[in-house]
C-alpha cells in the first residue's frame, strides 16, 4: 500500500515533504512536459461583457458522386445531365453579429452565402436553368431578430428566427414550425436544414412552465430539389412525369389568410420534461391543381395538436412524441386526419458515446387504397396528383456518436429507414451516413464522410429514384 | 472562572491524539467548508497534449446553493464554434438522485436534456471529468488517514478515499483516490485518482489558492493524466473575476436563461 502511494506520489510536480516515511522523488521531473499554459498562442475571444460581437466562418466543401452513371437521363424532355463524379465544390461563408443592448435586450443577425463552382467546372450549358438556379448560388438571412424582456416573466422575440419543437433528434413529428432546405436530403443534418421565418413570439414564464404564443408572418416554404436534378429526377414519382416542366409552386403572399400560428407550453422538472403544442402551419406536402395557365402545385395549411416528453432514467433518456394533424389535403381522396407517434431512446452510459434510436409511425384515418396505388398517369388523367402514402408509414433512425482525442474528433453514424404496411412490399428505402469530424485547431475543423442511399422495393418510388446518389464528402472550415 | 482554568490546563496537558480528527470527520469538514454562494467566475481551460499542442476553452460560470442541491450554469465563450453553448445542472446532494442536466446547442437552437449518471466522461475534452466538476456525496466513500505530510510548506492529511460500491466506481471512473487536505483550512490541495484503466492515474494539483471575500478558492488547478509514468495529457484550469453573493436567483438557473444567452 505504502509503496503504491509513494510511487504514485512521484507524479506531482513538486515533492511532498514527507514526515512519516521515505519518498521516491525521482519521477517528478520525468512526468513533466511543457508547462506553458498557452495564453500567448491561442486566441482568447472577446469577453462576454462586450456589447457586440462579430463571428463567422469560411468553408470549402467537396462532394463526389461515386454511384451515378455519367450522362444520366433524368431531366425533363430527356435532356441528359451528368451527375456523376464531382457533385459539389462549394465556397461557403457565414457571418453573425450578436448585440447586447442592455441586460434585457439583445439582437442577432446571421447571414450565409455559398457558391458552388462544380457547375462551372463541369460545364453550365449541360444543365437546366432550374438546376443551376437552385444549386449554384445561395444567400440567406438565417436569423435576424431582436429579443428582450417586457416584464420579469414576459419575453418577446421579433424577427427571422427558428422555433424547434419536440424531443426527437432525427425524425420530425411535432417539429413542424420551420420549413426545411431539402435540396440534398440525407446530405445535411437537421440543424443545417431548418429555414428561419419572420415571427413574433411572446413567452410567459410561471413556475416550471413556459407558455409561448407565436405568429408566423412569413409564408416561407420548403426549398426543394430542382426538378430534373439527381434529388428529384423525372421518375421521382414513378414513370416520368408528363410535364415538360415540373408544375410551378403557387406563391403565398404576405396576407392574413396565409398567417401561421403556434402555441406551446413547456415544462422542465426533476428527471423529466413535458411539452404541449398547437400549430396552424403550412404542410410540407404539395398537390397539383389545374389552373387556366396549366398545372400548379399547391400547399395547404394544416392544424396540429401534439405533445412531447422525455424522462431521464440513469444513463437512458426515453423520448416520446404524439401529433394529431387534421385537414391534410390528400389529393386522391380529400381531406383526412393523421396521427403521428414517436418513441425513442438515447443511451449515454458508455464513456464518450451517445447512441440514439427513434421509431415513428404515421397513421392515416379513413385510409383508402388508392392513396398508394394511384399511378401518376391515372392521377393526371383525373386532374389530380398521386399521394403515394400508406395507411401506416413507419420511419426509424439510429444514430451513434463517439468522441475521442479529448473531444477533438468524433465518429458519427446515422441510419434512416422508411417502411410500412400497405400494398406490395413494405420497405420504401432510406440512407446511411458515416462521417468523421476533426478539430485540427481551435479555429480549424475538418470533416469527411460517405452517404449511401438505399433503394426500396415498394410502391413508393422516391428512394429508388435517388438510389444512385451515393457520395463521399469533405469540408474544411475556419471559424472566428 | 476557576473551573475554566482547570479545563484549559487539562486540555493542554492531554496528548494531541485525543484531539485528532478522524478521517470521516476530516471528510465532513471538507464537505461543509464554506465555499461561497451565488458565485460568478470566468473559467479558462488550457488543454495540453503530449506534443505540447494547446487548446483553450473559455467559460462563464454561475452557481448557487439551494437547500439540497447546487445549481450551475456554464456559458461557453470560446472557441468560436461552441460559443453560446450553455450547460445547466441541478446537482443534488443525495447521490441516489441523478443530476438534472440540460444543454443548449446554439447551432440547433434547441435545448436537450442530458441523461447521464455516468460522470466519468471528459468535461469539454479536458482531463477533468464531470464528476470532478460536481460535488461528491461523502457518504459514498470510506476514508482513512494514510499519513500526515506537507505540501508547499502547509501541513496536510493524506487521506485515502475508497468508493463503497461498484456503482460509484463506474460512475466516476475512479477506483481509489488519495486526497491531500490542508490542516489549516480543510481545502483539498492535491489529489491522486487511480483510474479503472490499468496503469492510469490522474494528478490534481492546486497551483494557486486565494482567499477571496473570506473564502478559500483554488484559482489555478492542474489535472494531469498519466499512464505508466508517462503524461498523456494535461489541463490547466484558471478561475478569474471571482465574485460571491451576486444578484442571482432561481430564475437565472433555468432553461429560459440558457436559451437567452449571457
Q: How does pLDDT run across B212-236, given as a tens digit for each residue?
A: 999 999 999 999 999 988 999 999 9
- Residue B107 in contact with partner chain A when CB distance is under 8 A: yes
Among partner residues B80, B90, B117, which is closest to A479 by beta-carbon distance? B80
Element (DSSP H or E) covering residue B192: strand B188-195
Cα separations in angstroms, B123 against A410, A433, B162, B218: 15, 27, 23, 18
Nearest C-alpha in A relative to B102: A268
Among partner residues B77, B78, B146, which is closest to A5 by beta-carbon distance? B146
**DSSP assignment of A378-422, as one string?**
HHHHTT-------SEEEEEEEEEEEEETTTTEEEEEEEEEEEESS
Q: What value does the mean pLDDT take over residues A387-398? A: 92
Q: How does pLDDT run across A269-305, given as a tens digit for each residue?
A: 999 999 999 999 998 777 777 777 777 888 889 999 9
Query: B241 to chain A: which residues are within 8 Å by CB?
Result: none
Asked if B78 lies within 8 A of A346 by C-beta distance, the reply is: no
Rounded to the nearest angstrom, the gap between the alpha carbon of residue B179 and the centroid of all alpha carbons in its chain is 12
Q: Which of A14-18, A46-50, A100-104, A230-234 has the highest mean pLDDT?
A: A100-104
Residue A275, class by beta-carbon neighbours within 10 Å (0-12 exposed, 13-18 middle, 19+ buried)? Answer: buried
Residue A112: closest CA among A232, A223, A261, A254: A223
Of the pLDDT bands very low, low, confident and very high (cuts 50, 70, 90), residue A5 is low
**Omega before residue A171 within 30° of 0, cis:** no
Query: B148 to chain A: which residues are within 8 Å by CB?
Result: 19-20
More confident residue, B182 or A369: B182
Q: How does pLDDT run across A302-345, given as a tens digit for each residue?
A: 999 999 999 999 999 999 999 999 989 888 888 999 999 999 99
More confident residue, A145 or B198: A145
- Residue B230 in contact with partner chain A when CB distance is under 8 A: yes
Q: How does pLDDT run across A216-241, given as a tens digit for each residue?
A: 999 999 999 988 888 988 777 766 66
Of the pLDDT bands very low, low, confident and very high (cuts 50, 70, 90), residue A7 is low
Residue B47 and residue B57 in contact, taking contact as beta carbons nearer than 8 Å: yes
- Predicted TM-score of the model (pTM): 0.88
Nearest C-alpha in B relative to A270: B100
Asked if A315 lies within 8 A of B147 by C-beta distance, the reply is: no
Annotate A422-457 with three-state secondary structure.
CCCCCEEEEEEEEEEEEECCCCEEEEEEEEEEEECC
Q: What value does the mean pLDDT take over residues A45-67? A: 84
Q: Are strands B174-182 and B154-163 parallel, antiparallel or unpaired?
A: antiparallel
Q: How does pLDDT run across A426-454, given as a tens digit for each residue?
A: 899 999 999 999 999 999 999 999 999 99
Among partner residues B115, B125, B151, which is closest to A346 by beta-carbon distance? B115
Spatial distance between the Cα atoms of A70 and A247, rounded to a whole number of angstroms = 27
In this predicted structure, what is the pLDDT of residue A43? 35
Among partner residues A18, A106, A155, which is closest to B149 by beta-carbon distance? A18
Residue B139 and residue B96 in contact, taking contact as beta carbons nearer than 8 Å: no
Report chain A's mean pLDDT, rounded to a whole number. 86
Could you tell me where the beta strands, DSSP code E, fall in A150-224?
Answer: 154-161, 197-206, 209-216
**Distance of residue A348 Cα from the nearest chain B Cα, in angstroms:** 6
Per-window interface: B 31-50 vs A, CB < 8 A: 42, 44, 46-50
Asked if B81 lies within 8 A of A445 by C-beta distance, the reply is: yes
Q: How does pLDDT run across B139-186, given as a tens digit for each residue?
A: 999 999 999 999 989 999 999 999 999 989 988 899 999 999 999 999
Amino acid at each position: 500500500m505504502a509503496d503504491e502511494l509513494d510511487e504514485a506520489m512521484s507524479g506531482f510536480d513538486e515533492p511532498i515533504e514527507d514526515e512519516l516515511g521515505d519518498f521516491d522523488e525521482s519521477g517528478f521531473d520525468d512526468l513533466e512536459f511543457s508547462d506553458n499554459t498557452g495564453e500567448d498562442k491561442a486566441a482568447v475571444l472577446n469577453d462576454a461583457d462586450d456589447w457586440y460581437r462579430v463571428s463567422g466562418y469560411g468553408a470549402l466543401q467537396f462532394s463526389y458522386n461515386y454511384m451515378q452513371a455519367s450522362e444520366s437521363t433524368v431531366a425533363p424532355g430527356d435532356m441528359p445531365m451528368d451527375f456523376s463524379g464531382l457533385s459539389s465544390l462549394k465556397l461557403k461563408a457565414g457571418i453573425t453579429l450578436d448585440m447586447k443592448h442592455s441586460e434585457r435586450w439583445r439582437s442577432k443577425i446571421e447571414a450565409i452565402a455559398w457558391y458552388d463552382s462544380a457547375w462551372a467546372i463541369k460545364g453550365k450549358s449541360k444543365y437546366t436553368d432550374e438546376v443551376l438556379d437552385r444549386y449554384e448560388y445561395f444567400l440567406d438571412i438565417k436569423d435576424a431578430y431582436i429579443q428582450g424582456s417586457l416584464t420579469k416573466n414576459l419575453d418577446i422575440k421579433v424577427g427571422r428566427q427558428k422555433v424547434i419543437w419536440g424531443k426527437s433528434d432525427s425524425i420530425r413529428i411535432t417539429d413542424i414550425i420551420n420549413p426545411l432546405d431539402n435540396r440534398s436530403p440525407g446530405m445535411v443534418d437537421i440543424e443545417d436544414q431548418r429555414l428561419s421565418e419572420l415571427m413574433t413570439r411572446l413567452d410567459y414564464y410561471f413556475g416550471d412552465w413556459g407558455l409561448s404564443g407565436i405568429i408566423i408572418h412569413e409564408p416561407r416554404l420548403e426549398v426543394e430539389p430542382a426538378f430534373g436534378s439527381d434529388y428529384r429526377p423525372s421518375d421521382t414519382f414513378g414513370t416520368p412525369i408528363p410535364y415538360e416542366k415540373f408544375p410551378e409552386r403557387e406563391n403565398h403572399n404576405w396576407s392574413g389568410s396565409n398567417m401561421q400560428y403556434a402555441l406551446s407550453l413547456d415544462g422542465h422538472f426533476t428527471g423529466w420534461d413535458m411539452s404541449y403544442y398547437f400549430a396552424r402551419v403550412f404542410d410540407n406536402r404539395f398537390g397539383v391543381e389545374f389552373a387556366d395557365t396549366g398545372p400548379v402545385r399547391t400547399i395547404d395549411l394544416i392544424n396540429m395538436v401534439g405533445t412531447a416528453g422525455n424522462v431521464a432514467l440513469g444513463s437512458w433518456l426515453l423520448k416520446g412524441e404524439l401529433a394529431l394533424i387534421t385537414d391534410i389535403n390528400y389529393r386522391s381522396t380529400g381531406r383526412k386526419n393523421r396521427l403521428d407517434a414517436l418513441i425513442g431512446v438515447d443511451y449515454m452510459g458508455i464513456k464518450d458515446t451517445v447512441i440514439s434510436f427513434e421509431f415513428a409511425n404515421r397513421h392515416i384515418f379513413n385510409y383508402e387504397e388508392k392513396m398508394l396505388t394511384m399511378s401518376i398517369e391515372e392521377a393526371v388523367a383525373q386532374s389530380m396528383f398521386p399521394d403515394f402514402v400508406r395507411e401506416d408509414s413507419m420511419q426509424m433512425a439510429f444514430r451513434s456518436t463517439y468522441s475521442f482525442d479529448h473531444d477533438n474528433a468524433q465518429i458519427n453514424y446515422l441510419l434512416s429507414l422508411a417502411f410500412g404496411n400497405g400494398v406490395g412490399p413494405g420497405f420504401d428505402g432510406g440512407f446511411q451516413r458515416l462521417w468523421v469530424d476533426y478539430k485540427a485547431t481551435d479555429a480549424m475543423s475538418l470533416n469527411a464522410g460517405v452517404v449511401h442511399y438505399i433503394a426500396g422495393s415498394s410502391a413508393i418510388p422516391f428512394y429508388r429514384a435517388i438510389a444512385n446518389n451515393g457520395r463521399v464528402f469533405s469540408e474544411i472550415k475556419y471559424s472566428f | 472562572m476557576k473551573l475554566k482554568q482547570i479545563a484549559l490546563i487539562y486540555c493542554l496537558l492531554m496528548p494531541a491524539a485525543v484531539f485528532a480528527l478522524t478521517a470521516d470527520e476530516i471528510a465532513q469538514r471538507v464537505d461543509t467548508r464554506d465555499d461561497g454562494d451565488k458565485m460568478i467566475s470566468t473559467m479558462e481551460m488550457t488543454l495540453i497534449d503530449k506534443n505540447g499542442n494547446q487548446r483553450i476553452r473559455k467559460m462563464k460560470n454561475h452557481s448557487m446553493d439551494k437547500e439540497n442541491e447546487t445549481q450551475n450554469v456554464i456559458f461557453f465563450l470560446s472557441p468560436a464554434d461552441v460559443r453560446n453553448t450553455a450547460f445547466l445542472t441541478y446537482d443534488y446532494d443525495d447521490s441516489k438522485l441523478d443530476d438534472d442536466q440540460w444543454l443548449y446547442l446554439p447551432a440547433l437552437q434547441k435545448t436537450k436534456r442530458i441523461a447521464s449518471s455516468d460522470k466519468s466522461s471528459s468535461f469539454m475534452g479536458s482531463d477533468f471529468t464531470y464528476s470532478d466538476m460536481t460535488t461528491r456525496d461523502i457518504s459514498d466513500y470510506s476514508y482513512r488517514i494514510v499519513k500526515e505530510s506537507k505540501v508547499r510548506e502547509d501541513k496536510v492529511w493524506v487521506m485515502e478515499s475508497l468508493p463503497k460500491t461498484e456503482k460509484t466506481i463506474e460512475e466516476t471512473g475512479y477506483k481509489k483516490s488519495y486526497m491531500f487536505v490542508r490542516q489549516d483550512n480543510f481545502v483539498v490541495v492535491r489529489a491522486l485518482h487511480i483510474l479503472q484503466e490499468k496503469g492510469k492515474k490522474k494528478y490534481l494539483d492546486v497551483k494557486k489558492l486565494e482567499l477571496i471575500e473570506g473564502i478559500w478558492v483554488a484559482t489555478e488547478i492542474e489535472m494531469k493524466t498519466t499512464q505508466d509514468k508517462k503524461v498523456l495529457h494535461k489541463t490547466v484550469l484558471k478561475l478569474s473575476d471571482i465574485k460571491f453573493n451576486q444578484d442571482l436567483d432561481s430564475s437565472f438557473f433555468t432553461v429560459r436563461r440558457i436559451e437567452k444567452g449571457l
